[in-house]
């Protein structure tokens, strides 16, 4: 299954669901087709001033015991002491989600908690530059993509939430494949992620969210180990357009460590076509060791959030100027590539 045009334009880790309570938003879309149309239009309804975008509020719904929705604030959700209490509440109690399906308490206490041992003890992630992410307001985190499986996006989400003093949530833009995959799509919705399309990206940014995008897409995570830490093409600057149109800063982000967790030595393209996947990796351990081959190697990770690139000073109409978009896209890509080389020299051995 090939990623949609919208996913290729904006860049991602994987796709968007049909989200609840979106009927009141003129910017929301529920199908990939309409997302593509939104990409072509690039948010014409919001084409006024790049530095003063119209605020679009994200609606919040509380799910009651009987499954019926009710408007409320996410802050009204009861705080629970631990993972299992939160799970029990989701099975039998009330909880709050926004109209993308985002459940912040479930994300923090269950989803992120489940991967924190990997983050802290297996990959031993070190983070720098976290102050580049503002304490409040929208920002677009743009990172390199690698590792055969998109573990890098999950580790970045943990880094933003756990290392930032305001414990901000990273709302990631994904490709269709994620949301079309049973169970995984529901988990992605609960974690606040959505399809990589202009409308949803702009809506999240104007509502003050930190949005994450991996513009290399499948080209990045599916590249062979021999091309490690060499950035792939960033597409046509869809992520830049969303940032410029909403006047939000772009934060180039470099991730070192993901390339070594599943070093892909070959791609079984025939198997990939049969399974409808963009690639089927062959690594030193997978598929030869069976399920054990899915255990990632314990590489040392470094994540650096570089200085923000502001966009609020750009004139009206800059989001529709290909020359402007190309220049900023190239600047972001160059910043990430240069920082990758610096981090590799700083880290030394891959398994230190």
Residue length of the chain: 352
Query: How far, rounded to the nearest angstrom, does the alpha carbon of residue 290 sit from its chain's CA centroid?
Result: 29
From the list 25, 338, 331, 306, the residue with the least C-alpha distance to 139 is: 306
CA distance 150 to 338: 22
pLDDT at position 69 = 53
Q: What domains appear along the chain, each with residue ranges and CATH number?
A: 5-57+116-261+296-347 (3.40.1130)
Q: Kindly state the DSSP code that residue 64 receives in the 8-state scheme.
A: -
Q: 126 and 303 in contact (C-beta within 8 Å)?
A: yes
**Per-residue tens of pLDDT for the chain, all 352 residues:** 444 444 444 444 443 344 433 333 333 333 333 333 333 333 333 434 444 455 555 655 555 445 555 444 444 344 445 777 777 777 766 778 888 889 999 999 999 999 999 999 999 999 999 999 999 999 999 999 999 999 999 999 999 999 999 999 999 998 888 888 888 888 999 999 998 888 999 999 999 999 999 999 899 999 999 999 999 989 777 899 999 999 999 999 999 999 999 999 999 999 999 999 999 999 999 999 999 999 999 999 999 999 999 999 999 899 999 999 999 999 999 999 999 999 999 999 999 8
Peptide bond into 279 cis (omega under 30): no
Are 252 and 24 contacting, i.e. CB atoms less than 8 angstroms apart? no
Buried b or exposed e, range 58-67, using 16+ CB within 10 angstroms: bbbbbbeeee
171 and 194 Cβ atoms separated by less than 8 Å: yes
Phi, psi of 323 (to 5 degrees): -65, -40
Q: ∠ CA(240), CA(242), CA(246), 5° rounding?
A: 115
Torsion, Cα 197 201 204 210, to 10 degrees, reads: 130
> CA-to-CA distance for 199 and 37, rounded, in angstroms?
10
- Render 277-334 in DSSP notation, one character per residue: -S--EE-SSTTTTGGGGGSPP----EEEEPPPB--TTSPTTGGG-HHHHHHHHHHHHH
Residue 30 burial (CB count, 10 A): 14
- pTM for the full model? 0.77
């Amino acid at each position: 299954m090939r990623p949609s045009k919208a996913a290729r334009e904006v860049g991602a880790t994987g796709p968007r669901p049909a989200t609840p309570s979106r009927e009141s938003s003129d910017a929301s879309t529920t199908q990939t087709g309409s997302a593509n149309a939104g990409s072509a239009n690039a948010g014409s309804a919001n084409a006024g001033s790049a530095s003063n975008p119209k605020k679009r509020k994200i609606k919040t719904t509380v799910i009651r015991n009987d499954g019926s929705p009710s408007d409320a604030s996410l802050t009204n959700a009861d705080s629970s002491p631990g993972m299992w209490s939160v799970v029990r509440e989701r099975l039998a109690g009330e909880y709050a989600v926004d109209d993308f399906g985002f459940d912040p308490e479930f994300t923090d206490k269950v989803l992120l908690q489940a991967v924190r041992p990997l983050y802290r003890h297996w990959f031993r992630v070190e983070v720098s530059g976290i102050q580049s992410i503002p304490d409040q307001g929208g920002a677009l985190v743009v990172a390199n993509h690698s590792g055969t499986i998109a573990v890098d996006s999950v580790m970045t989400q943990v880094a933003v939430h756990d290392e930032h003093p305001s414990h901000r949530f990273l709302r990631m833009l994904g490709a269709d494949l994620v949301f079309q995959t049973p169970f995984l799509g529901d988990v992605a919705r609960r974690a606040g992620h959505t399809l990589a399309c202009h409308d949803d990206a702009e809506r999240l940014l104007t509502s003050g969210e930190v949005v994450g995008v991996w513009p290399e897409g499948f080209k990045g995570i599916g590249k062979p180990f021999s091309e490690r830490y060499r950035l792939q093409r960033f597409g046509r600057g869809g992520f830049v357009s969303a940032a410029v149109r909403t006047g939000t800063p772009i934060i180039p982000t470099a991730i070192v460590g993901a390339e070594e967790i599943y070093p892909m030595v070959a791609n079984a393209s025939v198997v990939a076509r049969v399974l409808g996947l963009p690639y089927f990796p062959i690594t030193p351990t997978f598929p030869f060791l069976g399920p054990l081959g899915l255990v990632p190697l314990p590489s040392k990770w470094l994540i650096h959030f570089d200085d923000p690139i502001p966009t609020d000073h750009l004139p009206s109409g800059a989001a529709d100027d290909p020359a402007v978009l190309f220049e900023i896209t190239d600047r972001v890509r160059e910043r990430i590539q240069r920082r990758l080389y610096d981090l590799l020299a700083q880290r030394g051995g891959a398994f230190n």
